Structure 1
Amino acid sequence: MADWRTFNVVILGVGFLFVFSAFTTCGNVEQTVVKSLQNDTFTGSGYHLGIIYGVFSLSSLVAPAVVAVLGPKMTMFLSGLLYGYIAVFIEPSTWSFYFMSLLLGIGAALWTAQGQFLVENSEASTINRNTGLFWALLQCMLFGNLCIYLDWNGRAEIPSSRKNIFLSLLVASIVGTLCFLVLRKTHLPEEEMLSEEEGQSLLSTMLQLLKTRNILLLSPCMAYSLELSFYSGVYGTCLGATAQFGQAAKGLIGVSGMVLGVGEIIGGLFGLVCKNNRFRRTSVVFLGMVVHFVAFYLIFLNIPDDAPVVMSIALLCSFLLGLGDSCFNTQLYSILGCVYAEQSTPAFAIFKFIQSVFAAVAFFYSGNMLLTWQLLLMVVLGFSGTLCFFVAERMHDVDASSTEA
């Protein structure tokens, strides 16, 4: 059973690797590509990734019921098909751009199912390891950004060969989705499985969990996930729009994405080497806060209000953004998996709901708010989120000690 659980975690990570290699690469270059397509027949905006996360947040409310009825394996497979959104950029049109954005938002169930499946294949002693392994595999998504660099480097305009790139990304997404069908069932005994009626009551369970102490304390840390809108949409666009980089600017988007991915991988590896979950979670989150604050400060110094001017510092900031993001996300998965092992589906749905709401808001304001204010907002929320995480971890430690006594 233990071997199959490890196998499932690895296949889960590989599936997400392919799906999000495609989607994240698409997100990094989307605004730049959309700006190059503006004409009489296409008027979309790449910052309308906010639409995706807006629908995502609403879909998260019903995702637990979907997962309960279909099971995490089929839910992830069906949700993964919606990432065919990438095909929009092969032959772009305004209506398909927004329509597929709406459908992709419904794919929220993918992440809720993933959280439940990861917990089902973990124990208290392995949740940190499995979370780190999953995250490290997920973030090994370098090939998409490498393709962007190789094809776009030295070009002042987006080349027509972008169609081949997006076609390759679409194929990668399909391969990742098919990986979900390989997952093995290691679920609970049959009498403990949820019925359809019980699955439909999960919304009320979510509402109850929203009032619990741990969720309230972890909410600011979950909300800090709005920083993903910064590194996945704003920062790459700044790099691509930098006149000082000359013809290297467009290719630099791909390099930045690869460096960011390296930071994410290293952050994920912390879960593999941490043996004392309770101590290490706070240590890793603190590290995440520090490296993010260093990145924000360097970006503040290096970017006027619209574009970076020093390439080495710009890429260092990409690495730090990825490392910090990984530190926060892996430890949120770990603590939720420990505290809500018996209610993993609604707990992870709440996590994705809060995360997507703030990401959607961030995508909408990012095009109108000066960079300085965006950085300040992330600093305030990052500090408060870290502080609340420390308190939640301490409370969980006290509760665990009381139970053992």
Structure 2
Amino acid sequence: MALDRGLLNVVLLGLAFMLVFTAFQTWGNIQKTMLESIKKDEPSFDGEAYYSLAIIYAFLAVFNWTSPSVISMIGPKFAMLCGAVTYLLFIMSFAIPHTWLLYLASVVIGIGAAMIWTGQGNYLALNSTEATISRNSGLFWAMLQLSMFVGNIFVYFAFRGKDHIDGTTRQVVIWTLSAIALSGIVVMVFFPKPPPKNVADEVVEERVAGPLEALNRALKLFVTRDMLLLNVTFFYTGLELGFWSGVYGSCISFTEDLPNRKELVGISGIFIGLGEVLGGAAFGILGAKTRKWGRDPIVIGGFILHLASFFVIFLNIPNDAPFTDTSSKAFITSNAILAIMCSFLLGLGDACYNTQIYSILGGVYADNSASAFAIFKFTQSVAAAASFFYASELVLYGQIGILVIFAVLGTASFVWVEWRAKREVVDAASTPSVSECSSHDNQGYDKS
């Protein structure tokens, strides 16, 4: 049996991102908690975690428009390498906490994030075919979200028994996560070239475009009907990304009615990761089935899971929990098991949306994947930036209301695009080709 070089490359891609994002996703989950502890020890520091995360995603959004041009010049591998280095620098910057350095590092990683994510989408598409894109998307997503296990298990033990995260603990966390990010960069250095494509692969190999042409292609693709509809889905995934990656863990940490609330932050991250990994692995294994059934049932399933989690969070967590320690009461007595169950549902639902977005972009837009993934990350990042900006001012119930509205709109938009794509495939299969029509016409002419 011949070695599937594309599959091997996707595994290496997943391993590298698992390591880099073990560092970053773990840090994002605890950043609010860590910065509040720094403020207590160093009154001169007044950096705000939500503003930092908002800056990251705002710059990611802006520079996404330039990332296809960067990839056209240096290729996806070196784009991902440059981006990964900024993640390492961001985490290391917290070893010497200064407000100005926090925001400067946020700008730098935002630029790097645009390169790493557009490069990732392009590299995934180049190593996939129409037959393997669903499998590869699920596999990559499952490996990426394993990062939530490793980092948050470490955080659980590091924060165990602590109501305040002291300076020594902070330094241990920072340098441990930095070392993990560095190991992911090392793996990226050894990324092989994608295998050559052929006609049987059913995917047209993306033509290399110049910087200006790459930008022009991205702008033209952005205003197409289907991409505009998909952007509503992308926007929702950005809002819920901001919620589960930065806000929900903080809500748990600040809810005084929850027992061992600082430890629960790590456990919450672990169960978000469990949902992400199970979803990614399931959709990877069932890649051939999802091609047959369509992507829409999975996205609808994610929608139901998210609505369930939002409802329980609404009942279980106090309204002012996103801001600081609170003794306010929720509608029910705050329950740790329910809080962690919602973490799992958030992760599983997120996997439903993202794996199918990766699948549709890597399959339908295979000949323009760098532009398609740049648009996806642009819209998602705008939404994530918006969510972090309003998270510092808007109470929990208001945030949940926004999520519910965009969950409905985003799911409906994706389903509409998917159904249209199915109808086009059926119509194409039932329409005779030009050669067949000519043959029939000739036969009819001969008979006459």
> Does TM, normalized by the shorter one, top 0.5?
yes
Question: C-alpha offsets along residues 41-78 of structure 1, whole Å, 9 cap, x if unaligned?
Answer: 31100002000000000110100000111111111111
Select 2:54's aligned residue among 50, 55, 69: 50
**1:322 correspondence with 2:347:** yes
Question: C-alpha offsets along residues 136-195 of structure 1, whole Å, 9 cap, x if unaligned?
Answer: 011111121111110112111113222111101001111111211221112557xx7755
Residues 193/69 of structure 1: CA separation in 2 closer, same or farther (3 Å cut): farther
CA distance in 2, matches of 1:193, 1:343: 6
Counting only pairs closer than 5 Å after superposition, residues 60-79 of structure 1 correspond to structure 2 as 60-79=64-83
Question: C-alpha offsets along residues 242-272 of structure 1, whole Å, 9 cap, x if unaligned?
Answer: 21235x1111110100011000001102322
Q: Is the 8 A contact 2:206 2:368 kept in 1?
A: no
Q: Which residue matches 2:445? A: none
Counting only pairs closer than 5 Å after superposition, residues 89-128 of structure 1 correspond to structure 2 as 89-107=94-112, 108-128=114-134
The structure that has the greater radius of gyration is 2
Q: Which residue matches 1:382? A: 407
SS of 2:71's partner is helix
Q: Which residue matches 2:153? A: 146
Q: Which residue matches 2:213? A: 201
Question: C-alpha offsets along residues 277-315 of structure 1, whole Å, 9 cap, x if unaligned?
Answer: 152411110110000000000001111203472100000
Question: C-alpha offsets along residues 68-109 of structure 1, whole Å, 9 cap, x if unaligned?
Answer: 111111111111101020112222111211111000000111
Q: Is the 8 A contact 2:156 2:264 kept in 1?
A: yes
Residue ranges of structure 2 left out of the alignment (5+ in a row): 198-204, 322-329, 431-448
Q: Which amino acid aligns with 1:242?
A: T
Larger CA deviation: 288-297 vs 276-285: 276-285
Q: Is the 8 A contact 1:278 1:397 kept in 2?
A: no
Q: Which residue matches 2:247? A: 234
Q: Which amino acid aligns with 2:175?
A: L
Q: Which amino acid aligns with 1:132?
A: G
Q: Which amino acid aligns with 2:263?
A: G
Q: Which residue matches 1:83? A: 87
Q: Which residue matches 2:434? A: none
CA distance in 1, matches of 2:408, 2:169: 43
**1:287 correspondence with 2:291:** no
Counting only pairs closer than 5 Å after superposition, residues 188-267 of structure 1 correspond to structure 2 as 188=196, 198-225=210-237, 226-246=239-259, 248-267=260-279
Q: Is the 8 A contact 1:153 1:252 kept in 2?
A: no
**1:132 correspondence with 2:135:** no
CA distance in 2, matches of 1:259, 1:360: 24
CA distance in 1, matches of 2:303, 2:130: 25
Q: Is the 8 A contact 1:139 1:261 kept in 2?
A: yes
CA distance in 1, matches of 2:314, 2:179: 38
What is the Cα deviation at residue 396 of structure 1?
Answer: 1.1
CA distance in 2, matches of 1:253, 1:280: 36
What is the Cα deviation at residue 347 of structure 1?
Answer: 0.5
Question: C-alpha offsets along residues 207-260 of structure 1, whole Å, 9 cap, x if unaligned?
Answer: 1111212201211110001111111111111111121235x1111110100011
Q: Which amino acid aligns with 1:139?
A: Q
CA distance in 1, matches of 2:268, 2:163: 17
CA distance in 1, matches of 2:302, 2:9: 28
Number of positions where the alignment pairs a residue of Structure 1 with one of Structure 2:
403
Q: Which residue matches 2:172? A: 164
CA distance in 2, matches of 1:284, 1:266: 13
Q: Which amino acid aligns with 2:405?
A: V
Q: Is the 8 A contact 2:61 2:379 kept in 1?
A: yes
Q: Is the 8 A contact 1:270 1:284 kept in 2?
A: no
Q: Is the 8 A contact 2:82 2:115 kept in 1?
A: no
CA distance in 1, matches of 2:45, 2:196: 50
Select 2:375's aligned residue among 350, 373, 377: 350
Q: Which amino acid aligns with 2:110?
A: G
Q: TM-score, normalised by structure 2?
A: 0.87
Q: Which amino acid aligns with 1:202?
A: A
Q: Which amino acid aligns with 2:178?
A: L
Question: C-alpha offsets along residues 322-358 of structure 1, whole Å, 9 cap, x if unaligned?
Answer: 0011110000010111110100000100000000001
CA distance in 1, matches of 2:206, 2:380: 28
Counting only pairs closer than 5 Å after superposition, residues 277-316 of structure 1 correspond to structure 2 as 277=291, 279-307=293-321, 309-316=334-341
Q: Which amino acid aligns with 2:31?
A: E
Residue ranges of structure 1 left out of the alignment (5+ in a row): none
Q: TM-score, normalised by structure 1?
A: 0.96
Q: Which residue matches 1:181? A: 189
Q: Which amino acid aligns with 2:215?
A: L
Residues 2/119 of structure 1: CA separation in 2 closer, same or farther (3 Å cut): farther
CA distance in 1, matches of 2:73, 2:267: 42
Instruction: Determine what percentage of the aligned residue pairs are the same residue.
Output: 39
What is the Cα deviation at residue 376 of structure 1?
Answer: 1.2
CA distance in 2, matches of 1:305, 1:229: 17
What is the Cα deviation at residue 13 of structure 1?
Answer: 0.3
CA distance in 2, matches of 1:22, 1:112: 20
